């Protein structure tokens, strides 16, 4: 009997094929899943914390799946329910106003799709440079609030959400969102009409939009200052005074003869709000010691 010696190099390692769609959502721990519901019913979501979501489980399609966010993210998402006042069926200009507000942060392009058969909308804003999830969430939420939008469930939700770090003594998780291109999820054109949709088409749109978005860190930091100011325990009028003053200081000196007015405003802040260090640090940043 003649035998052939087979070298180990003749064997090729078997690697799991990388799913380009699945790669877009890298944080797969504490994922959510649910049985496919009846058309008029809502999914009964549950959280799986024992293991991360794998591409093989996702591709089987036995359940609906959703993911959360880690400490950093390459995208943010807006969720607008069918019954929201901001849905195109209720207000044909609301989303255009939302998009204009987010342009200041550097989010100038998006992917629109239906979230499910319910008719709700998901607007994805991918970008190349990773961002701190909490900071981006706080900045986007604040910017939308400044533009007059009410960010709350059922109307307009932001993912990642500006979560509290601890709830009842336990670290909190970012809210989870349903993954796109599952049952009832279709890409939409500029008129919010469904177009041919599959995961490959979604990836192509993602890559195109991602190249057009660039988060402006200066704007994010400015918005985060506004977030921190809301933690002061002051009255509504005082809160507005502090906000207006900080807006003036943020702009800085744009002409001659402004030093006296800035110092006068700083003195008022110290006089009426001695417990807060707002004026001191703001003016140190502006070059006044």
Q: Do residues 120 and 82 make contact, with C-beta atoms less than 8 angstroms apart?
A: yes
Q: Is the dihedral of CA 278, 283, 285, 286 positive or negative?
A: positive
Predicted local confidence at residue 15, as pLDDT: 38
**Same domain for 160 and 258?**
no
Rounded Cα distance between 248 and 258, Å, is 11
Residue tagged 């591409």 (tokens): 55
Whether residue 82 lies inside any domain: the answer is: yes
Predicted local confidence at residue 97, as pLDDT: 98
**Same domain for 209 and 268?**
no
**Same domain for 189 and 90?**
yes
**Same domain for 212 and 83?**
yes
**Same domain for 198 and 252?**
no
**Same domain for 156 and 281?**
no
Say which residues have a Cβ less than 8 Å from residue 254's Cβ, sequence separation at least 6: none
Whether residue 97 lies inside any domain: the answer is: yes
Predicted local confidence at residue 284, as pLDDT: 37
Predicted local confidence at residue 120, as pLDDT: 96
Predicted local confidence at residue 168, as pLDDT: 65
**Same domain for 78 and 184?**
yes
104-144 confidence digits (pLDDT tens): 999 999 999 999 999 999 999 999 999 999 999 999 999 99
Number of structural domains the chain divides into: 2
Beta-bridged to residue 47, according to DSSP, are 32
Whether residue 186 lies inside any domain: the answer is: yes
**Same domain for 128 and 197?**
yes
Tell me, what DSSP letter sits at residue 62?
S
Whether residue 155 lies inside any domain: the answer is: yes
**Same domain for 195 and 237?**
no
Predicted local confidence at residue 272, as pLDDT: 44
**Same domain for 177 and 276?**
no
Between the two ends of the chain, the Cα-to-Cα distance in Å is 94
Q: Do residues 220 and 136 make contact, with C-beta atoms less than 8 angstroms apart?
A: yes
Rounded Cα distance between 28 and 40, Å, is 28
Supply 194's token pair. 């469904």
Whether residue 102 lies inside any domain: the answer is: yes
Q: Do residues 113 and 187 make contact, with C-beta atoms less than 8 angstroms apart?
A: yes
**Residue 125 sits in a domain of what CATH number?**
3.30.70
Whether residue 221 lies inside any domain: the answer is: no
Q: Which residues of the chain, if any, have pLDDT below 50?
A: 4, 6-16, 233-235, 262-263, 265-289
CA distances in angstroms from 278 to 245, 247, 259, listed in the order given: 10, 12, 18
Rg (CA), the chain: 24
Predicted local confidence at residue 141, as pLDDT: 97
**Same domain for 240 and 212?**
no
Provide the domain limits for residue 187.
71-216
């Amino acid at each position: 009997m003649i035998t052939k010696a087979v070298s180990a190099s003749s064997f090729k390692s078997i690697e799991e094929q990388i799913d380009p769609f699945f790669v877009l959502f890298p944080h797969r721990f504490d994922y959510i899943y649910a049985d496919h519901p009846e058309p008029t019913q809502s999914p009964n979501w549950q959280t799986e914390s024992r293991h991360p979501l794998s591409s093989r489980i996702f591709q089987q399609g036995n359940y609906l799946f959703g993911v959360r966010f880690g400490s950093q993210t390459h995208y943010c998402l807006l969720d607008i329910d069918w019954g929201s006042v901001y849905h195109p069926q209720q207000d044909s200009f609301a989303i255009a106003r939302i998009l204009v507000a987010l342009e200041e942060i550097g989010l100038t392009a998006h992917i629109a799709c239906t979230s499910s058969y319910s008719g709700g909308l998901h607007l994805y804003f991918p970008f190349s440079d990773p961002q701190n999830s909490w900071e981006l969430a706080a900045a986007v939420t604040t910017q939308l609030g400044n533009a007059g939008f009410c960010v709350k469930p059922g109307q307009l939700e932001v993912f990642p959400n500006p979560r509290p770090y601890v709830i009842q003594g336990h670290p909190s998780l970012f809210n989870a969102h349903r993954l796109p291109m599952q049952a009832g999820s279709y890409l939409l054109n500029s008129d919010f009409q469904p177009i041919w949709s599959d995961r490959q088409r979604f990836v192509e749109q993602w890559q195109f939009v991602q190249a057009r978005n660039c988060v402006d860190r200066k704007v994010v930091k400015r918005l985060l200052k506004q977030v921190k100011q809301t933690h002061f325990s002051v009255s509504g009028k005082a809160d507005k005074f502090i906000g207006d003053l900080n807006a003036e200081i943020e702009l800085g000196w744009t002409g001659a003869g402004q030093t006296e007015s800035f110092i006068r405003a700083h003195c008022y802040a110290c006089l009426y709000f001695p417990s807060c260090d707002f004026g001191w640090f703001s003016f140190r940043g502006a070059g006044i010691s």
